[in-house]
Structure 1
């Protein structure tokens, strides 16, 4: 396994910490723009994955389990003093799920919730694939999947930098298999945009099988990338779930 370092940046809010895992091709800066947010929202701790932004020279992860193994001890060191929840969208959802499995084994981590967004349940394999496609077809397929295209991909120079990371992320997501069939003990909230044509309501509800604790599906206005339009609906749902 490669030795990666990961950056966590704290945004001071209420005592609960929310670890935010990027979606495919995304970086920590996406979550760092979530301000100003209402005071009731938790500390936002964006995880920076290798291969992008300030860690662009590092080799990206290509396996979800490897990512979770590398990230879990680093996250545990950051959040051992208070309650913590995990949030991940799409690829980030399955990374967060595997992180939750590992953090549950750490008696010093007070993991209270797992928020999974824009994702079918962890045991649903991806039937449509973009891995290995030529560049133009790959980008077109990704845009069709997500209903979203990063502006930087329209710039040839930036695309050359971003494409290897995006390919690695997509490969990691499409090849993902859960480490275990055993469900979590942690409550799960599955979030979905009402107009998401990539993940259906039934698929979002599959996460109910991934926990022996409470489960809830929350739908918010928007498509698959609803959180890129405005984080406020998402933060309202998370804040409500984290209330004592």
Structure 2
């Protein structure tokens, strides 16, 4: 079983290294290319699909997992795979993302640097010591702003339901189950919703839990 992953805003191919430690042969992380300011989600999906076709063999079972921005990307990729009649993942796994049909309540990409950074801090996931390194903040700000702009420009479009199950995880401090229930409208198969304690980056408070979860996926018959 191959584990294809898509990172959250500001992340990279190493974003899930703690969770997938020991799975170098199974884990295939995909990273967003940020070499242009006008990249939109459709272009990003197209680029990812080209890579997936190169790295996934037709006879190789796989799942797709994404957190936050990565969850949206994973969902859109599954839509495109199904539209093009390409081999589908056995499951779509989502964390830190409300149902795709729910519009973002708050947009951040247009804010000033200080306002934008303060909003980022409220999401969690930023080490406290990073505040002592303004050069790091200066480096990450345009990366984060690029990714937030990408997601905030997304307009939901109702399409045919997926034909694969979806597992949804969310943090107790960031969302409610009601906000996750909309994922049930995106597939004809089973949707399993799980709440875990924590903020937007709750996954890193439950590394062992997710290691076991993905271990079970890899070894399932």
- For residue 62 of structure 2, the aligned residue among 60, 84, 87 is 84
Q: Point out where structure 2 has 5 or more consecutive residues left out of the alignment.
A: none
Structure ranking higher on relative contact order (CA contacts 8 Å, 6+ apart): 2
Whether contact under 8 Å (1:64, 1:94) holds in the other structure is: no
TM value normalised by structure 2: 0.87
For 1:233 and 1:60, the matched residues in 2 are separated by 37
Cα deviations across residues 90-143 of structure 1 (Å, max 9, x unaligned)?
111101000111222455524110001011100110011212100010011122
Whether contact under 8 Å (1:50, 1:60) holds in the other structure is: no
For 1:98 and 1:172, the matched residues in 2 are separated by 13
Residue 64 of structure 2: SS of its match in structure 1?
A: strand
Q: Count the aligned residue pairs.
A: 218
For the aligned residue pairs, the C-alpha RMSD in angstroms reads 2.4
Q: Point out where structure 1 has 5 or more consecutive residues left out of the alignment.
A: 1-15, 52-57
- For residue 149 of structure 1, the aligned residue among 111, 122, 126 is 126
Aligned residue in 1 for 2:202: 226
Whether contact under 8 Å (1:190, 1:205) holds in the other structure is: no
Whether contact under 8 Å (1:21, 1:96) holds in the other structure is: yes
Whether contact under 8 Å (1:19, 1:87) holds in the other structure is: yes
Matched, 1:213 2:189: yes
TM value normalised by structure 1: 0.79
Aligned residue in 1 for 2:14: 29
Cα deviations across residues 139-187 of structure 1 (Å, max 9, x unaligned)?
111222x233255465222222221110011111122123443221121
